[in-house]
Amino acid sequence: MRYASVDILRGFTVAIMILVNNPGSWSHVDPMLEHAAWHGCRMADFVFPFFLFIVGLSIVFALSKALEAGADKKQLALKSLKRGGILFALGLFLNAFPDFDFQTLRIPGVLQRIGIVFAITAVLFIYLSEKQRRGVALFVLLAYWGLLVLVPVPGLGEASLEKGKDLGAWLDHLLLNGHLWKYSMTWDPEGILSTLTSIVSALFGVSAAVYMRKNSRPVKGLLWAGVVFACAGLLWNMVFPMNKSLWTSSYVVFTSGVAFILLGLSIFLFDEKGVSKGTTVFRALGANPLAAYFGSELLARILCTVKVHDFYLSEWSFMVYTSFLEPAQASVVSAMVTVLFWSLIAWVLYKKKIFIKI
């Protein structure tokens, strides 16, 4: 069974991702669209784990039939690793554009993390049972908790969850010095160690999809799972704070719980009740998520590169909005226009049945 809810939820997530990543000005971001400064979980902090959760869903629906038909597991794994590698390369291209200065090229990134998570999660789905995957998820969450709160950070002498002083930051600086996020240069929000727990976000999506394939009426089970996970994440937050940059275990459990709930509600509305009004744009974005996200990121870089009369195109655009709006309002409107633009592109591709895949 193909779930319309999965496509719609994916498209909605991509739309919010574009909205959050493309304010008219980073100096005037509406508080509603900002990430938590460090510890905490705001609306913008749900976007990336939701997308990885949906990556897990998609892996199950894409590979299950082939596995059940007896397809060669090694070939499926190699294809998954190749796809993950392409996503990683696309992320590197975005980080390099337009200067292509490889001496300071940022290695981590959003697409890089998606590529790694996709490849590893797909391999785990191919070779492990559901019980084994749950064991891996639990082990990673508990081990990561222990690493960050118990292991002394070299040079600091004690464990720390402070920005730039945690064990993950130390590892990033040790292995990727000079190739990290330009706003810190000493740690990275898509760093090495936190990639481990981001894989668990996708594994929870795998578990949700496996449950959906075994149950023709999965809504109740998904909602109950969501409530349990969300409550567990809130409780864990009391001793291991939610933090997107650290991708803490409590953050994984809480955001996955909310993802379970949204998935259950989406199945109820769009699959069981057949609600379709107003969903076309999200179906379109969900059908071409890579094109919409990559295109929006590339365009943003071009607008910040091309100058006209000493002003970048992005600055010209923002000045147009600020001519009749307050800066904070102009920033939000600019972001919304960007979402509408890429929604239109996705809608045209959808109508022409063009689906860009790797």
81 burial class (0-12, 13-18, 19+ CB within 10 angstroms)?
middle
| Residue linked to tokens 């200065």 | 101
pLDDT band with cut points at 50, 70 and 90 for residue 1: low
Give the residue among 154, 156, 202, 217 at the shortest CA–CA distance from 3.
Answer: 217
Are 151 and 171 found together in one domain? yes
**Where does a domain end: 275, 299, 327?**
275
Backbone angles phi, psi at 127, to 5 degrees: -105, -20
Backbone angles phi, psi at 95, to 5 degrees: -65, -30
Are 282 and 270 found together in one domain? no
**Mean local confidence (pLDDT), 221-250:** 98
Q: How far apart are CA 21 and CA 6, in angstroms?
A: 22
Are 12 and 64 found together in one domain? no
Full residue range of the structural domain in which residue 331 is found: 1-34+277-358
Q: How many domains does the chain have?
A: 2
Tokens of 65: 């039939």
Are 50 and 7 found together in one domain? no
Integer Rg of the chain from CA? 20
Q: How far apart are CA 105 and CA 21, in angstroms?
A: 20
**Where does a domain end: 243, 259, 275?**
275
Q: How far apart are CA 350 and CA 358, in angstroms?
A: 17
Distances (CA, A) of 276 to 145, 212, 280, 283: 42, 21, 8, 10
Are 78 and 149 found together in one domain? yes
Are 104 and 198 found together in one domain? yes
Whole-number pLDDT of residue 241: 98
pLDDT digits (tens, 9 = 90+) for 155-202: 999 999 999 999 999 999 999 999 999 888 889 999 999 999 999 999
Say if residue 309's pLDDT is above 90: no
Q: What is the DSSP letter of 128?
A: S
**Where does a domain end: 275, 304, 325?**
275
DSSP three-state, residue 89: helix
pLDDT digits (tens, 9 = 90+) for 238-290: 999 999 999 999 999 999 999 999 999 999 999 999 999 989 999 999 999 99
User: Model-level pTM?
Assistant: 0.95
Are 85 and 221 found together in one domain? yes
Are 74 and 210 found together in one domain? yes
Q: How far apart are CA 55 and CA 59, in angstroms?
A: 6
Are 295 and 218 found together in one domain? no
Are 79 and 169 found together in one domain? yes
pLDDT digits (tens, 9 = 90+) for 344-357: 999 999 999 999 98
Are 197 and 251 found together in one domain? yes
Q: How far is CA 256 from the centre of its chain?
A: 12
Tokens of 305: 């590169």
Are 315 and 339 found together in one domain? yes
Percent of the chain with pLDDT over 90: 85
How high does pLDDT run on average in the chain? 94
pLDDT digits (tens, 9 = 90+) for 179-192: 999 888 889 999 99
Geometric angle at alpha carbon 218, from 214 and 220, rounded to 5°? 140
